[in-house]
Amino acid sequence: MQQLLSELQAADVGAILTNEPLSAHTTWKIGGPADLLITVQNRDQLVRLMRLLHAHQVPWHVLGRGSNVLVSDKGIRGAVIKLGGELADARFEEGLIHAGGGYSFIKLSVLAGKQGLTGLEFAGGIPGSTGGAVYMNAGAHGSDVSRVLKEAEVVLEGGEVVVWTPEDLKFRYRHSVLQERRGIVMKAVFALDPGDRKEIAGAMATYKDRRLRTQPLQLPCAGSTFRNPEGHHAAKLIEAAGLKGMRVGGAEVSTLHANFIINTGTATAQDVLALIDRIRTCVRDQFGVELTPEVLLMGERD
C-alpha cells in the first residue's frame, strides 16, 4: 500500500486521506474506514487515478454525496473516490445543462428551474450526486433520468473515456449498464425544455412540502431503502405488515415513512442489515412479495 500511496502522490491524483472513517461521509452516518479516500478535482486526475488503480489491481468504489449507500462497519479495502472541483460543478448552454458527476442532483434541479428550464423538477427531492443519479436512473413523480439525459462522459476501469447515450446506458427502472460495467460518470449532459419559472417553482415547492411532511429528512437516513416491486409500493407493504417503528439496535423503521430506515444515533451497518432482513421476511411471509434493497452495500461483509 505504501508503494501505491507514493505513486498516487507523485501522479498528483488529488487529495488523499488514509484510514478515513466513512461515517463522516454518508447520510446514514454509518461506515468504517477506507484504506484510501481520494478526492479528485478534474478529469485528468481521475483518468490518471483509474489507470494507476487498474495497474496495481486495487479495488475501488466511488462515493457521491453519501446517500443511498450502506458502508460496512469494517470499512472499505482499497480506494474510495470522491469527485470535487470541476467534477462537482455545473454550467448551462442553450437549453443544455452540463453537470459534473459530483454535483448535487437537488441543486441541479433548483438551478434549472431558476433558468426557466423544465424537466428536472422530479429531482428536487432526490439526494445524492448527479453521477449517482445516472448510475441508478434515479426518478420520482413519474419521471427519471432516462427522460432528460442527452449523454454521459464516463471513465471506465482501465482509464478509457467513453461518451454514452441513454441507449448505451440501457436504462430501466432504477438501473443502468453502469451496474454491470464499472465506470464513473465524470459529466452528464441534460436536454431540457423552456418553461415558465413560476410554474416550475410551484411544482417544486409542492414536491418539497410533501417530502417534509412525509419523509424523516431531519434524521440520518439514506433515502428509500427498497425498490418498489412491480404493481406495489414498498412503503405501503411495510406499513401494512405493521413494521413502522420496528428496531434493531440503533436502526429503526421510520414511523413517518415506512420505506425509510433511520439511524437513531447508535446504528451500525449490521443493525441496518438485520432490520432489512426482518422487513423482507415479514413482507414475504405476509404478502408473498419479495422486496429488493435500493441502497447499495459497500465494503467488507462481516
User: 221-279, pLDDT tens digit by residue?
Assistant: 999 999 999 999 999 999 999 999 999 999 999 999 999 999 999 999 999 999 999 99
How large is the average pLDDT for residues 67-78?
96
Q: How many CB atoms lie within 10 A of CB 144?
A: 21
How large is the average pLDDT for residues 54-64?
96
36 pLDDT band (50/70/90 cuts)?
A: very high
Give me the helices (H) in 42-156, please. 43-55, 105-114, 130-136
Domains defined along the chain, listed by start: 2-85 (3.30.43.10), 89-200 (3.30.465.10), 217-298 (3.90.78.10)
302 pLDDT band (50/70/90 cuts)?
A: low
Which pTM value belongs to this model?
A: 0.92
Looking at residue 181, what DSSP letter applies?
A: S
β pairing state of 33-40 and 15-21:
antiparallel
Whether 142 has a pLDDT exceeding 90, the answer reads: no
Active-site residue set: 174, 224, 294
213 contacts 183 by C-beta, under 8 angstroms: no
Whether 69 has a pLDDT exceeding 90, the answer reads: yes
How large is the average pLDDT for residues 195-204?
92
| pLDDT tens digits, one per residue of 145-185 | 999 999 999 999 999 999 999 999 999 999 999 999 999 99
